[in-house]
Structure 1
């Protein structure tokens, strides 16, 4: 609830490919006033514009952090739906969208480097992609199993068997919304399930988003109390290079210069070497 400016908003150019660097300094903005994101406050066009701005901000942040990005996956979003046709110009070419009954269980795979990525498979709360032969599993772990170590071991073992059957594997990275009960839970369960040492890419302690200024958080969810959003990696197959978190905020226009939350999860950027 701190009203001091903290969100670093980078310049974007809406008429060019999102992976082209846009030069210029960041603008420091504060969080929008309470109630700004209440239901009925925004039209469909207004909200889709906020999401478009967010994904372009993600590209610009990851260009500054890593030099670029080969794969962008949006969780809880169906980019193939007619309401989201603008996503391909703002998030990159749509490679694949999962199609469960609820949009909140979707994953939309985008890239401006389509040849780098191959869709491998999907299931309940997960989607697997090979990015430069690194096997990445994006997850939105169902609440019904998220806190059960035995259930989760079985869950990851089944996913691992799928990626191995398509000629690749085992899993190199798991990232996304894990709903984990403790900070080390996902890495520990994966290590037990696959018999391979997995580690959290974030060493622990406070989370300092790459797009924030002098603001840290205790968690990645909307109340900053739970570290649900993580990236864990196979220490046998991978050398971790860098990891960054990205805030839930995006700039809003009109009535002053503010940032507003467009989601209840932080984003994760990962640069890794195999």
Structure 2
């Protein structure tokens, strides 16, 4: 019964995969400014212990903080070191939220648009978990980084443009950043998932059990529909596809996972013939920061994170 978490950064198309490729990007700036449009305190920031392993539960109440002012994530506002610290803090905050939601630590944390093989991101292993594998097809935005406290429980199954596949326990999980050109066409999307599925089956690993990540889909039912066609099985959304309240928010709900909360891009879709879904959760794009000794929150990406508990029901 593995627990998966996926969240993308907002990275550019540079062939350089360091921190600058993910810092002060347009949609991250838009996300922060949209969430900071009111002075309402809404972000729930968990206590963390930077010296402990990231999955170690830290006891204590969440702190309710409001967003830093609009423009806080603008270009030139933060050094690479400062932005890295925010992403690291986001990873630790994520672990603490997931422990409270699921009653135990997450098995696998996957970050899209982040290349964990790049030396500038190496410290993420101390905050997200040990590096299982990282892959990239050339550009920073086409990268994936897979983290876990116990790397031996996970098997890398393959990767390609817009996807990486991991077998965790007995569950085949495919994490995606579907290219826009593919996401605009049902037939192209069906072919995209069929190609991945054939590769897994050809390796003797079985079919796709769950797809998670940035689908770039135009409508909430797009991915369940095309994945059902690709697998020849009924596939369903793992969460409510039209309304969500991230578990790190207080009295604030969203209509989408993108920068202006209008599109459900970041979702999980499961193969109902092979797995069932337990608890699930969304996490916002924001993390806690400190400014003039006053705790505030700021967005470090334009993508919400999603966590899912998955149980294999059939081989």
- Asked if Structure 1 and Structure 2 have the same fold, meaning a TM-score greater than 0.5 normalized by the shorter chain, the answer is yes
| Structure 2 residue aligned with 1:271 | 309
CA distance in 2, matches of 1:121, 1:207: 31
What is the CA-CA distance between 1:198 and the residue it aligns to?
0.5
CA deviations on 1:99-123 (whole Å, 9 max, x unpaired) are 2211111000100021221100001
Could you tell me which runs of 5 or more consecutive residues in structure 2 were left unpaired when the two chains were aligned: 1-36
CA RMSD of aligned residues (A): 0.8
Select which of 289, 293, 297 maps to 1:252: 289
Q: Distance in 2 between matches of 1:68 and 1:123?
A: 28
1:214 — aligned with what?
Answer: 251
**How far 1:171 moved relative to its partner?**
0.2
d(CA) in 2 for partners of 1:123, 1:85: 22
CA-CA distance at 1:52 after TM superposition = 0.3
Q: After the TM superposition, which residues 49-88 of structure 1 pair with which residues of structure 2 at under 5 Å, given as runs? A: 49-66=85-102, 67-88=104-125
2:148 aligned residue: 111
Distance 2:213 2:57 in 1: 26
| Offset of residue 156 of structure 1 | 0.4
Selected match of 1:262 from 300, 304, 310: 300
Do the aligned partners of residues 205 and 144 (structure 1) sit closer, same or farther apart at CA in structure 2, a change above 3 Å counting?
Answer: closer
State the match for 1:195 in structure 2.
232
Deviations 1:220-256 (A, max 9, x none): 0011010000000011111110111000000011232
Task: Provide the C-alpha distance between the structure 2 equivalents of 1:85 and 1:121, rounded to a whole number of angstroms.
Answer: 22
Q: CA deviation at 1:205?
A: 3.2
3-state SS of 2:228 partner = helix
201-210 vs 246-255, which moves further = 201-210
What secondary structure is seen at the aligned counterpart in 2 of 1:182? coil
* Count of paired positions: 274
* 1:100 alignment partner, one of 124, 131, 137: 137
Does the 8 Å CA contact 2:242/2:264 hold for their aligned counterparts? no
Q: 1:233 aligns with which of 243, 247, 270?
A: 270
Which residue, out of 107, 122, 131, partners 2:168?
131
Aligned positions of 1:181-192 closer than 5 A: 181-192=218-229
Is this contact kept in 1: 2:241–2:264, CA < 8 A?
no
Q: For residue 79 of structure 1, report the CA deviation from its aligned partner.
A: 1.4
Alpha-carbon separation, structure 2, partners of 1:151 and 1:104: 20
Aligned partners of 2:242 and 2:256 also within 8 Å = no
Equivalent residue number for residue 34 of structure 2: none
Bigger relative contact order, structure 1 or 2 (CA pairs below 8 A, ≥6 apart): 2
* Counterpart position of 1:121: 158
Deviations 1:150-183 (A, max 9, x none): 0011110000011112211210000000000001
Q: Deviations over 1:15-60 (max 9, x none)?
A: 1110100000000011111100011100111000000000011111
Please give the alpha-carbon distance, in whole angstroms, between the structure 2 residues aligned to 1:269 and 1:3: 28
Match of 1:158 among 195, 202, 208: 195
Partner of 1:143: 180
Contact kept, 8 Å, 2:258 with 2:264, in 1: the verdict is: yes
Q: What are the Cα deviations for residues 139-159 of structure 1, in whole angstroms up to 9, with x where unaligned?
A: 000011111000011110000
Query: Partners of 2:240 and 2:253 in 1: how far apart?
Result: 14
